[in-house]
Amino acid sequence: MIGLQKLHLKIGDYVIRNCSKEDLPSVISINLVSLPEHYSDIFFEEILNELPEAFLIAEKDGVVVGYIMCRIEYGLSVLHKFGLARKGHIVSIAVLEQHRRKGLGYGLIKEALKALKNKNCSEVFLEVRVSNLEAIKLYEKLGFKVISKLRWYYRDGEDAYLMGRAL
Ligand SMILES: CC(C)(COP(=O)(O)OP(=O)(O)OC[C@H]1O[C@@H](n2cnc3c(N)ncnc32)[C@H](O)[C@@H]1OP(=O)(O)O)[C@@H](O)C(=O)NCCC(=O)NCCS
């Protein structure tokens, strides 16, 4: 992470900053209790190594309470019918239940979007369960629009919305 411009943003009593390797056990445990989609430890490490600029955590008194992790993909634009794009992909975001509705989810995404734009992404996308109304509201507040429905996207058979916006 040499040369990484470190973020330090205060939101009330919380700080949003770049994730470090030492934070990964906390991130992994937040993922385990907050979402049905889990990943191997190596996957988290790889995402951190690939794009530390857009792997952010929220913490309070030194305790990690939320995270967002993203990667960059090249391929068909999700916004335009034809053409290729350098796309930011929000892979996972979660805030511990007792720390929700304090603007942390919003802040984590807002900062991750800035980082993706700085890395020359022209658009950003994510997948969200069609039943996850809180998350969908949050994404809409940040300017994301539903692009399509991905049938049977999740292992349990639930559909996802593909949502995206320009950067
Ligand atoms: C989705 C999630 C990350 C939101 O985090 P958060 O820190 O509570 O979000 P914020 O406080 O920044 O909320 C911002 C806005 O999102 C919307 N929102 C968030 N939670 C909401 C809820 N429970 N009900 C309705 N709207 C909600 C609101 O518009 C809110 O703005 P407001 O508080 O001014 O009304 C959090 O609920 C979470 O971790 N959920 C479990 C994991 C998950 O579902 N991740 C997304 C997978 S795609």
Q: Which residues line ligand 1 (CB under 6 A)?
A: 34-35, 93-95, 100-106, 128, 132, 134-135, 137-138, 141
Counting atoms of ligand 1 from 1, which one is nearest the CA of 66?
A: 39
| pLDDT by residue, tens only, the chain of 167 residues | 556 778 999 999 999 999 999 999 999 999 999 999 999 999 999 999 999 999 999 999 999 999 999 999 999 999 998 899 999 999 999 999 999 999 999 999 999 999 999 999 999 999 999 999 999 999 999 999 999 999 999 999 999 999 999 99
Domain boundaries, the chain: 8-126
Alpha helix ranges (H) inside 22-127: 24-34, 41-50, 104-118
pTM: 0.97
Question: Which superfamily, per CATH, for 8-126?
Answer: Gcn5-related N-acetyltransferase (GNAT) (3.40.630.30)
CA 100 / ligand 1 centre spacing (Å): 7
